[in-house]
Amino acid sequence: MSLGVDVQHIAELRSVLATYPTVELMDGPTPLHPLLHLGADLGIDLWLKRDDLTSLGLGGDKPRKLEYELAQAIQAGADVIVTSGSAQSNHARLTSAAARKLGLDVVLVLGNDEHAQLQGNLLTVHLMGGEVVMVDTDDHWDLDEEVDVVCTRLRAEGRNPHVVPISGTTPHSCLGYVDGALELVDQFTARDVVPDVIFTPFGTGGIFSAYLLAMRSVGIGAEIVGISVNRPAEECEENLDHWWGTLSGLLGTDPELGRGRYTIEDVYVGPDYGVATTECLDAIVSMARREGILLDPVYSGKVFAGLLGHAAAGRFEQGSTVVMLHSGGIPALFAYHAEIEAHLEQGDRHRSTG
Residues that bind ligand PLP (CB under 6 A): 60-61, 90-91, 167, 169, 201-208, 299, 327-329
CB of 295 to ligand PLP, least distance (A): 10
**Residue number with CB closer to ligand PLP (60 or 195):** 60
Helices (H), the chain: 7-17, 36-42, 62-75, 90-101, 120-128, 144-156, 171-191, 206-217, 233-251, 278-291, 300-312, 332-335, 337-353
CB of 319 to ligand PLP, least distance (A): 29
Contacts of 80 (CB under 8 A, 6+ apart): 99, 104, 105, 106, 107, 154, 159, 160, 161, 162
Q: Under a CB-based contact definition with an 8 Å cutoff, are residues 300 and 328 in contact?
A: yes
**Residue number with CB closer to ligand PLP (72 or 167):** 167
* CA distances, 241 to each of 208, 213, 219, 226, 336 (Å): 11, 11, 20, 14, 34
**Residue number with CB closer to ligand PLP (173 or 253):** 173
**Residue number with CB closer to ligand PLP (90 or 253):** 90
CB of 10 to ligand PLP, least distance (A): 22
Contacts of 40 (CB under 8 A, 6+ apart): none
CB of 240 to ligand PLP, least distance (A): 10
**Residue number with CB closer to ligand PLP (124 or 327):** 327
From edge to edge, which strands make up the β-sheet containing 131-135? 131-135, 105-111, 80-85, 161-164
Q: What is the dihedral sign for C-alpha 69, 70, 74, 78?
A: positive
CB of 50 to ligand PLP, least distance (A): 12
**Residue number with CB closer to ligand PLP (154 or 175):** 175
**Residue number with CB closer to ligand PLP (45 or 205):** 205
**Residue number with CB closer to ligand PLP (61 or 146):** 61
CB of 325 to ligand PLP, least distance (A): 9
Neighbours of 1 (CB within 10 A): 7
Q: Please tell me what DSSP assigns to residue 29.
A: P
CA gap 269, 238 in Å, rounded: 18
CA gap 201, 207 in Å, rounded: 7
CB of 227 to ligand PLP, least distance (A): 10
The shares of helix, strand and coil residues in the chain, as percent rounded to the nearest 5, are 50, 15, 35
CB of 94 to ligand PLP, least distance (A): 8
CA gap 303, 241 in Å, rounded: 21
Write the single-letter amino acid at 193. Answer: V
